[in-house]
Structure 1
């Protein structure tokens, strides 16, 4: 275990990469999927259970934690790791995306954003400097620069002005972050679906200098084809010797397609949110366990899966507890979904150094195309 932050590439297979991010709190194997612990918890899971799925790092949410219970309170109580009982690395987002999604509740100016809490309507202010302060108080290992992310579709002028403001904020974030050995600051590339604006953003971020780089402003309504089109060039615009993080992605085939295009890290609420609504992700695609076809089915969700949900419970049981709205339904399906997502990451990490990524990817898509097992 390192006392500093460092990234090393172990192997590549085409644009796909596998490597390691070393932090004082542990190693993050890449490609990495980060379960989302929005408010200091991965919903429906104990921290030890999240680790058992194979997750090396969690994501925490600056916006939600600053509102409740408050960054200063978490700092007084020993920091986010101690507060939520997660000893491994934590990445915190900057709050920019959540503030963007507030719409009418926010007011943007060149210095920052003033917004009202979605919880109680109280007034708050986020600037690059305040975002860095909050993330320092939380004690996160990987800190994200504060940015402004426009929803897509948007016109080119709006995307360009937003990107340039984000680059100004990136420089201020870098200055405010300072020198924090063992902690990392990632810059966020913006520019919508415009290749030249993405290039301009990447050049500005390189000039500032960061420990890692995120591709931001995707998975905001543009669709998979457009996202992949952007990822065909955006990762290559960023430094090859630093981690590349695609924010807020995604479905299993989004993740595989992103890794195929050179992405190292991803996060998404989908596996946990889906688990709470009766949706399971399997190697054969998505399963809605609430459908009547599962009511008498004694088989597991996936006979090849080794998670506790598949080892111990039938589709019939999962159907029953999900329809009855029992808490265990969301807990078991969330565990399964997170396990499956980490299984995907492990599969890619094994395939890339073996030079088998294309074959692995083809088999991944073949199984998904077959669809769920036939009803009894």
Structure 2
């Protein structure tokens, strides 16, 4: 993709100013921050309402020598969701949300969660695992660095369930049913007898309403604003797993040119954003579930024996991912599952121990 940054955005302006109230000479830096989604999106909400204020606060609390003039471009005004990585890599924006879930070919290692369903539904554990893995797993660090980016925060989804216009009591109820499951999530339906249908959160409502599909694999926080529960009122909680989807990142060349205190501010704000994101998702799950039930949704839980039957019926998709993602994929898989177990969770399936199976 070729995107030319508009002249008015080129470069980072640095202008000395004087803050009368603090009697400290400041340097003002203009930083572009952008995203392909609007601020109402729960990932982007954190950028605007946590990340930016935390950067400003850190700078005030640590010498007050620099101030950021934020140039905001949320809501896809600079680029589309397919271009989030390129936009930060090529400095279309200095800082942006990079959706690794859309970068299967350029960032395959970061997509390990999508090839290990039923690993854990603990979204906070996954976010914190990637906070560590982005820093400590050499291949992941090299991938970010090679794409000219520095990751600052980690974003996740809550765990996946099924929304359908028919009740699901056993796995057999999925047989010959059409379920919206785009991209990699289509792999999760193997062995169930269901037919995956491509789509997205923005298409699920119409697809189910018109019979293109009869349900969708999705998560509470994503489904709530789409009102899919109006056309698929049966919610079958099956805890397929929470997923890592990327996070806030900064163009590496820009980052290296920023003053040291600004670099520290970005890192600190990124960590604060991850923590706030975990709390925000937890709150939104409870709210979403309550609202859906109030509007007529029927929530049931897939029996444990049926869930186990689903898990055991899946082919070894983690091995297929590893075989196509380079030798370092083994290290990533081991680091990810070590983090899950260290966090007190028992994976529904030990994908890391099946690589040679």
The alignment's TM-score, normalised by the length of structure 2, stands at 0.24
Structure (1 or 2) with the larger CA radius of gyration:
2
Higher helix share: 2
Greater RCO, 1 or 2 (C-alpha within 8 Å, sep 6+): 2
